[in-house]
Amino acid sequence: MSQQQFARIKERLAVPVIAAPMFLVSSPEMVIEGCKAGIIGSFPLLNARTTEILEEWMERITQELAAAREEDTAQPVAPWAVNLIVHRTNKRYETDLDLIKKFQPPIVITSLGNPQPVVDIVHEYGGLVFSDVINLTHARKAANTGIDGLILVCNGAGGHAGTLNPVAFLSAVQEFWNGITIVAGCISRGQDIVAMEVLGADMVYMGTRFIATAETFASEAYRSMLMASNAEDLIYTDAFSGVHGNYLAPSIRNAGLDPNQLQKKDTMDFSFAQVSEAKAWKDIWSAGQGVGAIKRTAPIADVVAELREEYEQTYASLVSARKG
């Protein structure tokens, strides 16, 4: 059932892309404009700093997307998604789950824990659950919980990233999983999306490429640093959240730390309620190895249009190369 439901969603997208949820970066505006442009927009529930704010955001997204669907546009409006941290330290877990029941986002993306309880709730209202995983052990566990989609977070991804190469990760997962498969990590151009489809992915998950879009919460300083950086400016470390992720070395230096002398953070708290945790993500900025593709700030609709053009041209050139 979920495969058919997903096929219907996919055929109406401009490109098979989910704008990945990004802590302190994704905004309701970005979700709305992304969905209107024809990609699945998402945000981490914890980006709304209180439950009241979250309720307002979910209300607004629901209403604005419903209004957009009434308009007669060539591009169908894509479904929206939320990201729920299912780690035991997320103090908002229960209240955020109540809002998921109320607003029924079509897709719920779980991170950092067992998605099973979420699956029952989301399937009850007809939604889909995707889980992000950074290694094969987590992929195998998640595959047995009734989820609809696995998001394989490969090496070089922004935020908490794995260490597996996408070619290896995809082929290993295909041995035990035939559900919806989404790949993440350094995907920046239409060509990259085609490459992942050739390897067997149904869709891609893109974070870094969208950080500097006009609708996000990213500060001017963060945007400038992204535009001045390339893949070699990233440090892969567990110093800031206790889980390995990719961070911009210049932001670490600006915070008075030496990127080469970082210590592992020995506590984890994914409620992001602790001031120190929020501060780490506020002052020390994350990006993936695809950062070099960020050249300017542009509305998300323009980035989607660019991706679509590259995507279609790539398929067209593959077809003509095969014929020729």
Ligand X SMILES: Cc1cc2nc3c(=O)[nH]c(=O)nc-3n(C[C@H](O)[C@H](O)[C@H](O)COP(=O)(O)O)c2cc1C
Interface contacts to ligand X, rule CB under 6 A: 20-23, 25, 44, 83, 111, 132, 153, 157-159, 184-187, 205-208, 211, 286-288, 290
For ligand X, the closer CB: 22 or 301: 22
The C-alpha atoms of residue 32 and residue 48 are separated, in whole angstroms, by: 15
Residue 298 CB neighbours (<10 A): 15
For ligand X, the closer CB: 69 or 88: 88
For ligand X, the closer CB: 36 or 209: 209
Shortest distance (Å) from residue 315 CB to ligand X: 21
Shortest distance (Å) from residue 250 CB to ligand X: 15
Contact 91, 115 (CB under 8 A): no
For ligand X, the closer CB: 40 or 287: 287
For residue 144 the two structure tokens come to 């047995």
For ligand X, the closer CB: 22 or 99: 22
Shortest distance (Å) from residue 32 CB to ligand X: 18
Question: E strands within the chain?
Answer: 17-19, 41-44, 80-85, 107-111, 128-133, 149-153, 159-160, 180-184, 203-206, 234-237, 245-248
Q: What are phi and psi of 197, to 5 degrees?
A: -65, -40
What Rg, from alpha-carbon coordinates, does the chain have? 19
Shortest distance (Å) from residue 1 CB to ligand X: 25
Buried b (16+ CB within 10 A) or exposed e, 134-170: bebebbbebbebbbbbbbbbbbbbbbbbbebebeebb
Q: What residue number has its CB nearest to ligand X?
A: 207
For ligand X, the closer CB: 38 or 159: 159
For ligand X, the closer CB: 61 or 287: 287
Q: State whether the Cα torsion 312-315-319-320 is positive or negative.
A: positive
For ligand X, the closer CB: 16 or 21: 21
- Candidates 142, 114, 107; CA nearest to 2 is 107
Shortest distance (Å) from residue 45 CB to ligand X: 9
The C-alpha atoms of residue 289 and residue 185 are separated, in whole angstroms, by: 8
- Candidates 65, 56, 64, 179; CA nearest to 129 is 179
Q: State whether the Cα torsion 6-135-192-244 is positive or negative.
A: positive
Contact 43, 28 (CB under 8 A): yes
Shortest distance (Å) from residue 187 CB to ligand X: 6
- Candidates 159, 126, 194, 212; CA nearest to 23 is 159
Shortest distance (Å) from residue 3 CB to ligand X: 23
Shortest distance (Å) from residue 69 CB to ligand X: 26
